[in-house]
Amino acid sequence: LVGHPVRITATARIGEGAVIDLEREAELGGAIHTKGVMILTSFLAARYSRTMPLSLAASLVFEQSYGPVEGDSASLAELCALLSALAGVPIRQALAVTGSVNQYGLVQAIGGVNEKIEGFFEICRARGLDGGNGVVIPQSNVKHLMLRRDVVEAAEQGMFHVWPVADVDQAIELLTGVPAGVPDEKGMVPPNTINYLVSAQLAEMSLLRREFAGSGKSKRRRKERE
């Protein structure tokens, strides 16, 4: 078993609350992967759109992947890609991510954690380790770590890193270097944090969608009067 790193990209625009699994649309994605993408939609709606319509259309894809995609081990990475696209904050490309995520944003254990870390390590070593490379894994997988000696030595020297996370907020902070943003007692999220930027973007999308719908109705009324 060998871990094979794949780049995931996400786009977001005004829509009707759908996160499109392009792998599924191309008949390359399996049912479990599609379920993982549906969970992301539920998470976004529950956290950011409880009092307004979720008015985005988003797309997720494994770039240059030409075979079947199955499982939910990439759902944490997919969610972080979506949050990055919505917040307009880039993700550090020197890091890899593995982990499943549930509707509450909690990160769940996955299989093959050692092989996935070692697979990314091989690519990083071939390109030259500079101390900035590493893998984000579920905290619940720490007890399963049994890495090769060369990976352990690189970690001991600070040339490679393994970061365990318990939830998506911890992951997105590591990946972007921007605080996730924790709501205060009044439910207000600090400005210029990931959660603030995502909330603001989704609120703007909801407003624009209503405005477009309203303008369409006005045009139809004018035509009826004519």
Please say whether the beta carbons of 107 and 139 come within 8 A: yes
Q: Of all helices (H) and strands (E), which one includes residue 217?
A: helix 194-225
Order of strands, edge to edge, in the sheet holding 8-14? 8-14, 56-62, 18-21
Contacts of 52 (CB under 8 A, 6+ apart): 202, 203, 206
**Spatial contact of 92 and 175, defined as CB atoms under 8 Å apart:** yes
Q: Annotated active-site positions, please? A: 73, 116
- DSSP assignments along 76-144, one per residue: HHHHHHHHHHHHT-PPPTTEEE--EE-TTSBEE--S-HHHHHHHHHHHHHHH---S--EEEEEGGGGGG
Rg (CA), the chain: 20
The helices-and-strands tally (H runs, E runs) of the chain is 7, 8
Distances (CA, A) of 86 to 134, 144, 147, 186: 24, 33, 35, 24
